[in-house]
Structure 1
Amino acid sequence: MERGAYPASISIIGAGPAGLAAAEVAARAGVRVTIHDHMPSPARKLLMAGKSGLNITHDGPPDTFGTEELAPILSAFGPTEIRDWMDGLGQPSFIGSTGRVFPKAMKASPLLRAWLARLADLGVTLETRARWTGWTGDALRIGDRLVTPDATILALGGASWRRLGSDGAWADLPGLDGIVAPFAPSNIGFRVAWSEHMTRHFGHPIKNAALIVDGVAHRGEVTLSAEGLEGGGLYPLTPRLRDGAPLTLDLKPDLTVEELRDRLARTPKASLPNRLRKLGLDPVQIALVQEWGRPVPSDLAPLLKALPVPLLGPRDMDQAISTAGGLRWDALDADLMMISRPGTFACGEMLDWEAPTGGHLLTACLATGRWAGAAAARHAMRA
């Protein structure tokens, strides 16, 4: 389609998965689409996620996404539709043993190349090194230019992994005052002040243990690192731990306190490490008891069932897999349009939603991007 033949124009700020998804839908609707991104190349965070296989979605029930605002959006474009979309790009997928969905190529670059080629065929223009710095009246400030599209889609990301483009700086721009919930790290490790003797255990997991928060036991992978604890077992607990809920470890989750007492009574004169070893604790667990359990009580069983973990708070937000906070849902209408600025839509991780791990964040980015893209195209056509 010739440039002058387009009936309307849309500017999309951000070339991550949400912005690219919005561009695809809007371009198919027949409007001229330009994506502006301040980085030298698009979708850098997607490519980083692809280094670990690109868990793009999850073949689980919709309620695992955790917010009612997303329900109609995911009904329109959920895990099944994502897999069909991937097939259409020549990138078939498979479902792993835990329900997580990956491209068979196990990386993001082939998918991104095919996607960018499709967008180019649809006439989408991608401008890199083009930072949006807010509004002048109704116009967008893009670098040293003013741009006035018929509709705008903000796909600005969260506030982690700054070097990949998500710096969260947009939240402080005039015009967004009072409608952005503060950012907080999500799906992240927590800091611990280790003593020197723990150094040799860094990089080793805590096995056969349960994490107890608010009286509920959780199983999952947790690893010791120089900064503290990290791993997927902590990620679902991030909101409560971030708010200060105490964490304890149950080092023998399959035994009761009484059963532990009976077993400990068989070795009353052995040293502490030997008593713990005879219980089946491994070197990491024994080291944790010695690190966090002193002074060691005469009745060891309750300690082993609830070893206190002295967390010092989450690691730096820039190290988080994702962030909580962002543009509040009550600032948007059902089309994801900003109530305070008609014609401006929002999508992706910049929305105020704390995503669980397992492909949920990417799913919501794609789904909200497409939802905003369709709504923005309708608005632009009317304009």
Structure 2
Amino acid sequence: MTEALVIGGGPAGLMAAEELARAGAKVVVAEAKPTLARKFLMAGKSGLNLTRAEPLPAFLTHYHPDWIRPIVAEFGPDAVQEFAQGLGQDLFTGSTGRVFPRVMKASPMLRAWGARLADLGVEIRTRWRWTGFEGDALRFETPDGPHLERPRVTVLALGGASWPRLGSDAAWVPWLAAKGVGIAPFKPANMGLLVDWSAHMAPQFGQAIKGAALITETGRSRGEFVISRRGLEGGGIYAIAAELREGSPLSLDLCPDLDLSEVTHRLARQPAKTSLPNRLKRALRLDPAKIALLNEWGRPLPATPEALAAHLKSLPVRHAGPRPLTEAISSAGGIRAEALHDTLELRALPATFACGEMLDWEAPTGGYLLTACFATGRHAGRAAARALSLR
């Protein structure tokens, strides 16, 4: 009998495996893919944003629902940085507080982590795909054919429903639901918006919009985003993605550092014979991308400075909703909080714990996602180790 089985070899699963091994358990990690942590590695291709150097109270406000916050508080941004440094990673903090390995890659950290797990005696079994339950056993498809496991404790770290080609395909949902585990439907999180652009927008594809404010039902935020062929994407959009997904309207303030009266005054001072693009450039220093958005969503453009200024300060964004779940950076939904004990043990399946993006929580990009995966993996692994000692 396997003593402790972790299913899923991403950051949450590896953290759970390490905690179990440090407690003296004999640990097996079953990973469906040929290699570990594919989503972690993919995230690292654009610079591995591990966490965010931010005071813990402010850091925790980015997590919803708030049931997950105490777990993240146990292993917050300072602890994540210490953990990465313990794996030989030299870190730096960017101007926005985002923390990265200086090498800007995930692979060196993953190699060091794998070596440490091997030293702790953790056995990694790749190409072991969990395919559900068979009686009281866990059924796997393996390179050697079907296999059943009856571990003393199990930690599930199978990911959510975004980026299925990297392993997070949510195939586990019906198996756990059939066992009585409550699961909230998955929805896209940290996703872009679909926009059916007019032809005149094509020259702006790939252009970043900086220095604009995004206005939703709950307030204003500042953040950069990009005009892409299929819509809008980037950190500024991702930060408000949950609101937009739930139906909040979105508008843009293209001149957020000027109040309405100042925008009006500057437009009124421009000669009437000056073309509109030149008036916008000279009076407000708008770049071509912002002027293109104004033309896209503001036509017919008002003739008076007062009405044009109002458009510039609150330009409605016409979009066709979120990008699909399979294209989202992360997912909302998953195992409901009420289906879990505080230890992250499943109420319906004693001695089975869950962690990472399987759980029903969400947070914006910027280091928050990885921190919670580390934290929930650690929490579940420690709780599984305690349960093991009692069985």
Q: Which among 14, 17, 26 is matched to residue 20 of structure 2?
A: 26
260 and 74 in structure 1: CA distance in 2 versus 1, 3 angstrom threshold: closer
Q: Structure 2: 5+ residue runs without aligned partners?
A: none
Report the equivalent of 1:180: 183
Report the equivalent of 1:53: 47
Report the equivalent of 2:280: 276
Report the equivalent of 2:173: 171
Q: Which among 353, 360, 367 is matched to residue 368 of structure 2?
A: 360
Work out the CA distance in 2 between the residues paired with 1:315 and 1:167: 17
- DSSP-derived class of the 2:240 partner: helix
Please report the RMSD computed on the Cα atoms of aligned residues, expressed in angstroms: 1.7
- DSSP-derived class of the 2:158 partner: coil
Q: Structure 1: 5+ residue runs without aligned partners?
A: none
Decide whether the 8 Å contact of 1:39 with 1:165 is kept in 2.
yes
Report the equivalent of 1:377: 385
Report the equivalent of 2:128: 130
Which range moves more in the overlay, 191-200 or 69-78? 69-78
- DSSP-derived class of the 2:272 partner: coil
- Equivalent residues in 2 for 1:283-362, closer than 5 Å: 283-298=288-303, 299-362=307-370
Residues 282-331 of structure 1, C-alpha deviation per residue, up to 9 Å, x if partnerless? Answer: 11111111111112223311111111110111112122111111111111
215 and 331 in structure 1: CA distance in 2 versus 1, 3 angstrom threshold: closer
Instruction: Kindly indicate whether residue 149 of structure 2 is the aligned counterpart of residue 147 of structure 1.
Output: yes
- DSSP-derived class of the 2:208 partner: coil
Report the equivalent of 1:44: 38
Which range moves more in the overlay, 271-280 or 318-327? 271-280
In structure 1, what residue type is equivalent to 2:48?
L
- Equivalent residues in 2 for 1:130-279, closer than 5 Å: 130-143=128-141, 144-173=146-175, 174-175=177-178, 179-214=182-217, 216-266=219-269, 267-279=271-283
Report the equivalent of 2:91: 93
TM-fit CA distance, 1:40: 0.9
Work out the CA distance in 1 between the residues paired with 2:80 and 2:113: 13
In structure 1, what residue type is equivalent to 2:250?
L
Work out the CA distance in 1 between the residues paired with 2:126 and 2:45: 23
Work out the CA distance in 2 between the residues paired with 1:283 and 1:336: 51
208 and 98 in structure 1: CA distance in 2 versus 1, 3 angstrom threshold: closer
Residues 65-88 of structure 1, C-alpha deviation per residue, up to 9 Å, x if partnerless? Answer: 325433332343222222222232
- DSSP-derived class of the 1:260 partner: helix
Q: Which among 11, 20, 29 is matched to residue 5 of structure 2?
A: 11
Residues 172-225 of structure 1, C-alpha deviation per residue, up to 9 Å, x if partnerless? Answer: 225355611111111111011101111011111123321111262211111111
Work out the CA distance in 2 between the residues paired with 1:275 and 1:93: 46
Decide whether the 8 Å contact of 1:83 with 1:92 is kept in 2.
no
TM-fit CA distance, 1:155: 0.3
Decide whether the 8 Å contact of 2:181 with 2:347 is kept in 1.
no
295 and 178 in structure 1: CA distance in 2 versus 1, 3 angstrom threshold: farther
In structure 2, what residue type is equivalent to 1:378?
R
Q: What TM-score results when the alignment is normalised by the length of structure 2?
A: 0.92
TM-fit CA distance, 1:373: 0.9
Work out the CA distance in 2 between the residues paired with 1:71 and 1:294: 45
Decide whether the 8 Å contact of 2:71 with 2:376 is kept in 1.
yes
Work out the CA distance in 2 between the residues paired with 1:260 and 1:75: 44
The number of equivalent residue pairs is 377
- DSSP-derived class of the 1:152 partner: strand
Decide whether the 8 Å contact of 1:62 with 1:71 is kept in 2.
no
379 and 108 in structure 1: CA distance in 2 versus 1, 3 angstrom threshold: same
Query: Share of identical aligned residues, percent?
Result: 56
In structure 1, what residue type is equivalent to 2:128?
A
Work out the CA distance in 2 between the residues paired with 1:84 and 1:50: 19
Work out the CA distance in 2 between the residues paired with 1:120 and 1:324: 33
Work out the CA distance in 2 between the residues paired with 1:85 and 1:287: 46
Decide whether the 8 Å contact of 2:5 with 2:154 is kept in 1.
yes
- DSSP-derived class of the 1:234 partner: helix
Decide whether the 8 Å contact of 1:16 with 1:42 is kept in 2.
yes
Decide whether the 8 Å contact of 2:180 with 2:348 is kept in 1.
no
Work out the CA distance in 1 between the residues paired with 2:378 and 2:258: 50
22 and 178 in structure 1: CA distance in 2 versus 1, 3 angstrom threshold: closer
Instruction: Kindly indicate whether residue 104 of structure 2 is the aligned counterpart of residue 106 of structure 1.
Output: yes
Decide whether the 8 Å contact of 1:198 with 1:287 is kept in 2.
yes
